[in-house]
Amino acid sequence: MKIGICNDHAGVDYKNRLSEYLTGKGHEMVNFGTDTTDSMDYTDVAHPLASAVESGEVGLGIAFCGTGNGMAMTLNKHKGIRAGLAWSEEIGVLVKQHNNANVLVMPARFIPFEEVLKITDAWLDTEFEGGRHLKRINKIPQE
């Protein structure tokens, strides 16, 4: 799977470590994030990642900022994006099973890296359930 990943200054370390882990599992990682800890605006990397997911340049996306909220808010402005914020393994499952999140967002300053691995594996390994959840996600986009 080709996976786009982005981060602001709060997520550089987790972006690097997760990219290495996923590359080791055979995924192709495309980096849209900053590579320094200099303060920057998450919007400047979230929009390019969202566009890459929408165009199909990458199959899925992963994003980190301090709380995850700035990334999620920005990504979800794009019609083709369902960015889900996850902070536990169970939410990593549910955000795919129920919401079919095509971008996984995690709060780099509030969860240990071991949790990042568990959440990411859960999200990647879980299938969207469809059915009533398909009806609901189809009602998300607004003009």
Q: Which stretch binds ligand RB5 (CB under 6 A): 29-37, 60-68, 83-91, 126-134?
A: 60-68
33 forms part of the interface with ligand RB5 (CB under 6 A) = no
Q: Which of 76, 85, 11 is nearest to 47 (CA)?
A: 76
70 forms part of the interface with ligand RB5 (CB under 6 A) = yes
User: 11 with 76: CB under 8 angstroms?
Assistant: no
6 is catalytic: no
Work out which of 3, 8, 82, 99 binds ligand RB5, going by CB under 6 A. Answer: 8
Cβ nearer to ligand RB5, comparing 67 with 97:
67
- In angstroms, the CA 29 to CA 3 distance is 5
Residue 13's CB is within 10 A of a number of other CB atoms, namely: 13
User: 59 with 104: CB under 8 angstroms?
Assistant: no
* Beta carbon of residue 80, minimum distance to ligand RB5 (angstroms, whole number): 22
Which residues form the catalytic set?
65, 98
